[in-house]
Structure 1
């Protein structure tokens, strides 16, 4: 029987699950998310203290404030981090910290910087048009263009000057702020990579944002963007306008838009951000675990995947050693030894001095009953392994086992 290393967390094999766009979330899991928002974070990944920054905005003619939550290891690394711009202020940070911490621990999202933008006049800033609909406050709104200019010309440059940021940016908001997220995508394509709109209040001004979105989609947007939207148990006046918005997106299909939509019939308007936060970020961020179903005989698909992940996360694009090796083990178990060997060798090509990667090739050759080649690579793995590796004995014992196996084979012949 072939042996695999007894790995410590640094070398551990991780299961590879493909990214899925989940369209529904169980109420049991929703209850967990809601409870998580009430707890003090016990997960690593993001720090506990916020940094508060004031800006004297020339664009808005007023002082504005934003609060920043940095990754826990921010001051011990030189890494640059993706930034999530969360509208409606720091009250949203605790839940974001919990969910993003869970995703990070599962290698399903990177460390991020959270920037929470505080409000001064919310309805003025979030809506691009002045409301004339009697279902809401008439004569209010219309400041979104100026607020977006503030974000682009003053806020983002300030954040990127103060902190080590990566080029990946997300904007997130609920209700009126959800409308602003959609507006930002249309008004300034490419400014953000992801636009999250929890229960966007598209009824405002008799559905003006729906009409605007229809025209924008008809024009054929050319910038790539990710859009997440959800809706709870909304009735009138919201629901008809939202349904019309969904119809617009489904009618004007464009390859540049990646749209994820969730429905939560039993969830109230004020809880849709809590219900949707997991799917919103899990569906956007690429997972470090390469999806098994995308494996082909062409190993370039792996390199392309991690190149894109590196661009999104702001990290080294080299395919992780333990992930690719685990794929090799998986396809060996699936009785596909030639594909497994391709994976083992491809892994070693990226990690030439890694004893685990080399031992994977030995494992692959043993699976093909090529004991001489297996022993050669087992010896190479032992030669580069250091005795401080907790499972160093494995490399020693693997060589001895293969030597004995070869002797037994010779005797049998």
Structure 2
């Protein structure tokens, strides 16, 4: 019994693993951008989802600091999670921060040195991302409105600063081991003011590793602030990776950070009814601000699972929906006919056959014979 159910789960999940084919690896592109904001040339490394060139789909975007270092493994994590439908496929844009400009790019200017006339340091780099990088990415690639930002160490400080200075620019933020000690913990004061005023929005994941008190103490103060000033507009999760160091924590941070940004995305590994699936895809649509429909193979897989469990009404409701939603699908029609026959509803099965013969354009004689053969 358990072996059969496990086989059905593999059938449902397996249809989403076809992207493991050799021709469907993520594609990497390098871009050079002459930035008017920065007054210099900067480099981007763009990781496109597997199969990007073979479809017309649009994708959410994850922007990443230290993109030349953190880009390859982060794109791999996105690709792996997406294969198992834990997160959507994404375009990952790695923004390169060279050693000689990294501190300048990613850290906030001291409060007593800030200029009202001209943006500096992290604020200027944030303006560069907003005014130069994001428009270029939108112009060059098929993107959705959803965009997230991830950074580590000084990049984590930068990510929290972006959340505060430009609320709403990013739907989700991942800040791994953020250097919140900077300038006498200046970010904590900025964070408290923004949290008090309920300015922050979206999803935020923050993490720390087994690190020195200079890192862990301001991190804990920041977490305490998010708990002291809760708001429905900002969903925060914090995590400590006690078995990792500052340099090794990024892999786990990205993994759990992405899962938090897309909490509720995954379909539970249990039988799902039409209503269950519609609720999940409604959440997905709201999160990405685009209409998302249950894929045909997903509906068919769960419909067959429900059929195996002899949940007649649930199985037929889902398979009927699939046939109506994908009227040109031979497989959707065939699955419904099989289900009717399984539940000994011969009249309904014959009516479904008539509907299939009438609905499917270009039905071959072989396919017609296959459908008719289901009754023998």
CA distance in 1, matches of 2:232, 2:23: 37
CA deviations on 1:199-239 (whole Å, 9 max, x unpaired) are 1121222322223222222212364x121222111231111
What is the alpha-carbon distance in structure 2 between the residues aligned to residue 43 and residue 104 of structure 1? 17
Cα distance in 1 for residues equivalent to 2:365 and 2:60: 35
Question: Deviation string for 1:57-92 (max 9, x for gaps)?
Answer: 3x3333333232334544444433322211013122
1:53 maps to which residue? 32
Deviation at 1:307, TM superposition (A): 4.7
> Offset of 1:382 from its aligned partner?
6.3
Gaps of 5+ in 2: 1-9, 15-20, 113-118
Which of 90, 103, 108 is matched with 2:81 structurally?
103
Q: Which deviates further from its counterpart, 231-240 or 327-336? A: 327-336
Distance 1:371 1:79, change over 3 A: closer
Shift of 1:319: 1.6
Indicate conservation of the 8 Å contact 1:378/1:399, yes or no: no
Question: 1:84–1:368: structure 2 CA closer, same or farther, 3 Å change rule?
Answer: same
Task: Supply the distance in 2 between the matched residues of 1:392 and 1:315 (Cα, whole angstroms).
Answer: 37
- Report if the CA contact (8 A) 1:46-1:111 is conserved: no
Aligned to 1:14: 12
The separation in 1 between residues aligned to 2:56 and 2:295, in whole angstroms, is: 20
Are the structure 2 counterparts of residues 368 and 222 from structure 1 closer, same or farther at C-alpha, using a change threshold of 3 Å? Answer: farther
Residues 87 and 266, structure 2, Cα contact 8 Å, conserved in 1: no
- Aligned pair partner of 1:220 in 195, 198, 202: 198
The count of residues paired between Structure 1 and Structure 2 equals: 351
Residue 243 in structure 1 maps to residue 223 in structure 2: no
CA displacement at 1:334 relative to structure 2: 4.0
Counterpart of 1:195 (choices 140, 155, 173) is 173
SS in 2 for 1:121: helix
Q: Which runs of 5+ in 1 are unaligned?
A: 1-11, 17-40, 133-140, 401-413
Secondary structure (helix, strand or coil) at the match of 1:278 reads helix
> For 1:43 and 1:276, how far apart are their aligned partners in 2?
29
The Cα of 1:165 is off from its aligned counterpart by: 2.5
> Which string of whole-angstrom CA distances, capped at 9 and with x for unpartnered residues, describes residues 240-297 of structure 1?
2211222222333322223333321110001111222222223434788644779577
Aligned to 1:24: none
1:344 aligns with 2:322: no
Match of 1:266 in 2: 243
Aligned-residue CA RMSD (Å): 3.5
1:147 match: secondary structure = helix
The 1-side partners of 2:243 and 2:23 are apart by: 29
In 1, Cα distance between the equivalents of 2:221 and 2:270? 35
Aligned pair partner of 1:356 in 318, 326, 331: 331
The range that moved more, 302-311 or 205-214, is: 302-311
| Aligned pair partner of 2:306 in 331, 335, 347 | 331
Determine helix, strand or coil for the equivalent of 1:14.
helix
1:121 equivalent to 2:101? Answer yes
Which of structures 1 and 2 has the larger relative contact order (alpha carbons within 8 angstroms, sep 6+)? 1
Match of 1:399 in 2: 375
Q: Helix, strand or coil for the counterpart of 2:293? A: coil
1:365-385 CA deviation, whole Å, 9 max, x = no partner?
345442321343245446649
| CA positional deviation for 1:55 | 1.5
1:319 is paired with a residue whose SS is coil
More deviation, 106-115/310-319: 310-319
Report SS of the residue matched to 1:201: coil
Deviation at 1:115, TM superposition (A): 1.8
Give 1:177 deviation, angstroms.
0.6
Separation in structure 1 between the aligned mates of residue 315 and residue 141 of structure 2, nearest angstrom: 43
State the alpha-carbon separation in 2 of the partners of residues 393 and 100 from structure 1. 43
User: How far apart, in 2, do the equivalents of 1:207 and 1:388 lie?
Assistant: 74
**241-250 vs 330-339, greater mean Cα deviation:** 330-339
Greater shift in the superposed pair: 314-323 or 89-98: 314-323
